[in-house]
């Protein structure tokens, strides 16, 4: 099946937490070149993306665009730097002893000191996103392949039409070629006789016919016609062959 090398495909995965969109654009290229643009947090999945696309799209320049929206509010956790808190506490107690001053509510005071308590967002394991992302990739690849097949069918129909036109002209040329060659021989003979008569030389008809035949053979298009028919047959065979 003839396929175009150009095409575009879009795939989307949507659930309550994520919306992932994958867009793939393919253009003509001698080799297989895959360029991927995606969010940084998905960077560890680039090799997986590249492999799944390369398995199907084996030629051309392939541009892949991945975007992701997250709808769920990210989870947060409280992190306590215990060693730092103890260090603050020991320092405050030493200072209180030095100044002979009691420490009041020092626990809450320590909690307000820099870096003792931090609130951090829980990072989602990127591997859990792969099934969602691969689903969007598969959809985009399938849509792109459908477009390439449709465009390939249009190209095939155009080529078949052109082959039919060329073949019809070829038949006309083949039918006319013998008469054209004969007319050409007669034209050459007439000119040579005229030239010899002009210079006062007696034409040698046998020699004239021999030389004219040799010259006419060099102008024969039989070989070119056979070669052209062979090319047309090969093209038609290739167009009808399955991948």
**Protein fold of 7-72+127-149:** Ribosomal Protein S5; domain 2 (3.30.230)
What residue spans define the domains of the chain?
A: 7-72+127-149, 76-121, 154-240
Q: What is the pLDDT along the chain (243 residues), one digit of tens a residue?
A: 778 889 999 999 998 878 999 999 999 888 899 999 999 888 899 999 999 999 988 889 999 999 998 765 566 677 787 888 788 778 877 877 777 777 665 666 776 777 777 776 656 678 888 999 999 999 999 999 999 999 989 999 999 999 999 999 999 998 888 887 777 777 777 777 777 777 766 666 677 677 777 776 777 788 888 999 999 999 988 888 754
CB 31 within 8 A of CB 59: yes
* Long-range contacts formed by 48-52: CB under 8 A, 24+ apart: 48/130, 48/134, 49/133, 49/137, 52/134, 52/137, 52/138, 52/141
């Amino acid at each position: 099946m003839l396929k175009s090398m150009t095409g575009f495909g879009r795939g989307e995965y949507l659930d309550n937490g994520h919306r992932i969109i994958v867009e793939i654009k393919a253009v003509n290229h001698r080799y297989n070149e895959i360029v991927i643009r995606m969010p940084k947090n998905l960077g560890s999945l680039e090799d997986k993306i590249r492999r799944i696309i390369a398995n199907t799209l084996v030629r051309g320049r392939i541009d892949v665009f991945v975007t992701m929206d997250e709808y769920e509010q990210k989870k947060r956790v409280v992190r306590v730097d215990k060693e730092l808190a103890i260090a603050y506490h020991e320092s405050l107690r030493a200072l209180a002893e030095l100044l002979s001053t009691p420490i009041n509510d020092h626990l809450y005071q320590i909690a307000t000191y820099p870096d003792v308590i931090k609130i951090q967002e829980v990072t989602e394991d990127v591997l859990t996103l792969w099934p969602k992302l691969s689903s969007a990739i598969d959809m985009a690849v399938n849509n792109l392949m459908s477009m390439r097949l449709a465009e390939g069918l249009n190209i095939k129909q155009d080529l078949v039409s052109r082959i039919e036109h060329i073949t019809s002209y070829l038949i006309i040329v083949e039918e006319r070629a013998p008469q054209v060659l004969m007319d050409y021989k007669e034209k050459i003979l007439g000119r040579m006789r005229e030239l010899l008569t002009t210079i006062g030389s007696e034409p040698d008809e046998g020699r004239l016919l021999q030389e004219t035949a040799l010259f006419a053979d060099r102008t024969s298009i039989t070989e070119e016609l056979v070669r052209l028919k062979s090319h047309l047959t090969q093209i038609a065979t290739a167009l009808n062959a399955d991948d």
